[in-house]
Structure 1
Amino acid sequence: MTVNDTAPQRRAATKKTSLDKDLNKFMTLEQAGRSVAARLAAPGLALVFLVLAGLYAGLTMGLSSTTLIIVVAAVLGGYMALTIGANDVANNVGPAVGARALTLVGALVIAATFETAGALVAGGDVVATISKGIVDPALVPDSDTFIWAMMAALLSSAMWVHVATWIGAPVSTTHSVVGGVMGAGIAAAGFSAVNWATVGTITASWVISPLLGGVVAAGFLAVIKINIVYQDDKIAAARRWVPLLMAVMAAAFACYLAVKGLKKVWHPDALEIAILGVSVFALTFIATRPWVYYQSEGMENRNQSLRKLFHLPLICSAALLSFAHGANDVANAVGPLAAIVHTVEFGEFSSKVNIPIWIMLIGAVGISLGLFLYGPRLIRMVGQQITKMNPMRAFCVALSAAFTVILASALGLPVSSTHIAVGAVFGVGFFREYYTAHSRRRREYMRKQRKGAADRWDDSLAPHEELQRRKLVRRAHFTTIVAAWVVTVPVAALLSAGIYGVTLLIR
């Protein structure tokens, strides 16, 4: 067969038939459909949860003239729980994920499990209906006004946390609820109903929380760098210091859980908390010394080897922080809901109410579902995008989150756990910037290790360019998050007042 004879056959073989064209079109449509379905899966599951929450509330309370109000309140409480899971839980597991001590899936499973356990086992069975004493209940005119004010507070808080999650800013859900209650209280009973001294105290926590968290985290990172990282014999230094640091972390978390996470099952005084902390410190130090020695045998004398020693503490800290968060912050979602149910049932509102188990279930399941559906974005933000994490830095962030709460409680200072955790991430990043540029110990160590050939200022760059190169905290994320913190209470208050005003028109 000649070349001329085969050419037309080859062209005919490579030419697409009508069937091939149709199949390609179907494949394109199928891929587009899968893409759309993937984007709609999370909102669809969230919607199913809200519908089930409403049905569950209606069936639990039974059919009556007030059932519709309870169903709507349950949907709003479920919505708030979803947004808390999407936004607030990232602070507990983000650093461990960024340090690669946990995979994203592992972090989601651990956080969801311990958030649910904390909410159901140690979640407060009695919560304040007017969050943080912002509004005086005696000045609320009647029960109907109270119910609609609580609904406005729930919806506005959830909407703001939803927006903050969308823009990638971890915010305090407690501050969101405070703003919602304040706005609804002003709309319902006037400015005189608000306890402005309490508002001022909460405002102070915007500054106190991140600063304390950042300073404490930077302090622990300095201890690790000076005493372990920049030592000639890193393994020997780690064997001395890592058990001590792990004991400090264990003691801090024991006290943290006693103060914040076990309020439902235990009410220790200051002496009992101190005894608990000292006992846990001693036991952990004794137990971890042989473990660290065993783990460090055969390790190379380099920083990469040391990081493995911090993986287990990070996993434990992620679990304990999630448990404490579930126990402490589930009330942000279900507190107003419990207040509405109590008022509907008894025709009166109270400053404190019991939370039925069915309401706690809505909060616990909603937080876990919100974490799975929308949490990964904020987890990556906290753990990877603000500043680069490794196990030692993440350890300092987790230790700061527990230690700062204990310190602030002892000093009587108002703090936000969200602001502390994110402030600790900022503190680690800014400390690294400063230490990289100004530490004589670091420069001497690097010169000794690399004979002065590495990690020096690049003379080819202009001073401004060199300064920009050494900024280890992303300023865009920093300004976005700080701005979101500042506007959380006023924005939630304005939204709540507006929503309450709308309810007056439709009632």
Structure 2
Amino acid sequence: MDTTALLALVVVTALAFDFTNGFHDTANAMATSIATGALRPKAAVALSAVLNVLGAFLSLAVAATIASGIVEQDVVTLSVVFAGLTGGILWNLVTWYFGLPSSSSHALIGGLVGSVLVAAGTSGVIWSGLVSKVAVPAVVAPVAAGLVATCGTWLVYRITRGVARGDQQREFRWGQIGSASLVSLAHGTNDAQKTMGIIFLALIAGGQLDADDAVPLWVVIGCAGAIGLGTYLGGWRVIRTLGKGLTELEPPQGMAAETSSAAVILVSSHFGFPLSTTHVASGSIMGSGVGRRTPVRWSVARRMVVAWLVTLPAAAAVGAAAEGIQHALGGWAGTLVVLALLVAASLALFLRSRRTAVGHHNVNDDWAPDASPAQPTAAASAA
């Protein structure tokens, strides 16, 4: 396959991943506002989309980490990047189908690491960067966000204990709009940059850029637009799990959870950590339940944590398999086979999801006692 054509395919696939990142992670910013009624579902995803686009232009620190801090640039080829993106996209779609709020960031990094391992062996991975900038934040971030949300929720209810309940709920709904907007802006500063970093790697591998060049403006604009469009369409299955599945939320809890999420995400973006916004948002929501002493559905939380633990290795396995197919078949044939498999799997998941559709019309339906993110039919009424 011609290098230019392969580069174009990789860029389009990267933007497709960015799109899945958008609809998969809409829940991180807007699930609580939708669950408490602070925002109507369609208005919430529209607001989040706009702010994700704006946030993508605020910083490039995370893009630099993805481009140079996880794998060795000199072993990255266009086929390696394409294989890594395949792993990230498929894991995003699988977890979206099951309504599991897993990490798009870790899916992307896992897919890339898996493809590099097949292409260049263990020497192609910067293990110290993987541990310090991915693994450690993955453990620390949800715990930190949960603690901040717990304290914030307790303080909110403590300070407003003399306020009539109706007034309290009404005023905090307005506060939630601001805090949810801040999370959306923070999400754009962190997650859109991950795809920028991947495209930057592809441009270096394709001979279009040098490692010390700046990220081109068209890459920033393209990634901002793709994540914004995905966000607007809304990942309703995941929104439902975060908003209704973990705990029953009130507006004061929602504002506390969103504010703690935004703070942790913005700090990580400043230091260039490709943090999982999903881990942060989930930790914050659980913390808000603990802070108000609202029952947390720990069975749902356990399934989510399992998904978090297997995201990196699962996406890495898909990335490794995709690179293995390309290497075995060679040239354009291997790439086209992987592309065909990716399209077929994506279409199959989408068509299957329509059997138990979740959308703005039923995302706030009561959560059944036996509902599970792993059983979409139990989590939503049929469309």
User: Smaller-chain TM-score range?
Assistant: 0.7 to 0.9
Q: Secondary structure at the match of 2:235?
A: helix
Match of 1:212 in 2: 144
Match of 1:195 in 2: 126
Unaligned runs of 5+ in 1: 1-63, 236-301, 437-471
Match of 1:179 in 2: 110
Tell me if the contact between 1:73 and 1:151 (Cα under 8 Å) persists in the aligned partners: yes
Q: What is the distance in 2 between the residues matched to 1:415 and 1:384?
A: 24
Q: What is the distance in 1 between the residues matched to 2:98 and 2:228?
A: 21
Match of 2:183 in 1: 321
Aligned residue identity for 1:355? V
Q: What is the distance in 2 between the residues matched to 1:108 and 1:411?
A: 28
2:33 to 96, 120, 126: 96
Match of 1:291 in 2: none
Match of 1:479 in 2: 302
Deviation at 1:412, TM superposition (A): 11
Tell me if the contact between 1:153 and 1:177 (Cα under 8 Å) persists in the aligned partners: yes
Q: What's the C-alpha RMSD, in Å, of the aligned pairs?
A: 2.8
Q: What is the distance in 1 between the residues matched to 2:72 and 2:271?
A: 26
Aligned residue identity for 1:91? N
Aligned residue identity for 2:154? A
Match of 2:47 in 1: 110
Instruction: Say yes or no: does 1:338 pair with 2:269.
Output: no
Instruction: Say yes or no: does 1:500 pair with 2:362.
Output: no
Deviation at 1:68, TM superposition (A): 1.6
TM-score when scaled to structure 2?
A: 0.77
Q: Secondary structure at the match of 2:63?
A: strand
String of CA shifts for 1:262-308, please: whole Å, max 9, x gaps.
xxxxxxxxxxxxxxxxxxxxxxxxxxxxxxxxxxxxxxxx2122111
Aligned residue identity for 1:338? F
Q: What is the distance in 1 between the residues matched to 2:184 and 2:199?
A: 22
Matches within 5 A, 1:66-465: 66-119=3-56, 121-122=57-58, 124=60, 127-128=63-64, 130-131=66-67, 133-138=69-74, 140=75, 146-201=77-132, 202-229=134-161, 234-235=162-163, 302-346=164-208, 350=211, 353-405=213-265, 416-432=276-292, 435=293
Tell me if the contact between 1:97 and 1:107 (Cα under 8 Å) persists in the aligned partners: yes
Deviation at 1:169, TM superposition (A): 1.4
- Percent of pairs identical after alignment? 29
String of CA shifts for 1:238-268, please: whole Å, max 9, x gaps.
xxxxxxxxxxxxxxxxxxxxxxxxxxxxxxx
Tell me if the contact between 1:131 and 1:177 (Cα under 8 Å) persists in the aligned partners: no
Aligned residue identity for 1:88? D
Q: Secondary structure at the match of 1:156?
A: helix
TM-score when scaled to structure 1?
A: 0.60
Deviation at 1:319, TM superposition (A): 1.9
Match of 1:266 in 2: none
Tell me if the contact between 1:129 and 1:336 (Cα under 8 Å) persists in the aligned partners: no
Unaligned runs of 5+ in 2: 331-383
Higher deviation after alignment, 86-95 or 126-135:
126-135
Q: Secondary structure at the match of 1:128?
A: helix
Tell me if the contact between 2:99 and 2:240 (Cα under 8 Å) persists in the aligned partners: no
Q: What is the distance in 2 between the residues matched to 1:409 and 1:126?
A: 6
String of CA shifts for 1:126-176, please: whole Å, max 9, x gaps.
9337556122234x2xxxx52211111112111111111111112222222
Deviation at 1:115, TM superposition (A): 1.2
1:66–1:191 CA distance, 2 compared to 1 (3 A)? closer
Larger Rg belongs to: 1
Tell me if the contact between 1:136 and 1:194 (Cα under 8 Å) persists in the aligned partners: yes
Aligned length: 329
Deviation at 1:217, TM superposition (A): 0.5
Aligned residue identity for 2:221? L
Tell me if the contact between 1:173 and 1:332 (Cα under 8 Å) persists in the aligned partners: no
Aligned residue identity for 1:336? I
List structure 1 runs of 4+ shifted beyond 4 angstroms: 129-132, 405-415
Q: What is the distance in 2 between the residues matched to 1:337 and 1:309?
A: 43
Tell me if the contact between 1:85 and 1:371 (Cα under 8 Å) persists in the aligned partners: yes
Q: What is the distance in 1 between the residues matched to 2:266 and 2:128?
A: 23
Aligned residue identity for 2:280? I
Tell me if the contact between 1:134 and 1:195 (Cα under 8 Å) persists in the aligned partners: yes
1:125–1:178 CA distance, 2 compared to 1 (3 A)? closer
Aligned residue identity for 2:236? P
1:353–1:164 CA distance, 2 compared to 1 (3 A)? farther
1:413–1:367 CA distance, 2 compared to 1 (3 A)? closer
1:393–1:132 CA distance, 2 compared to 1 (3 A)? farther
Deviation at 1:85, TM superposition (A): 0.9
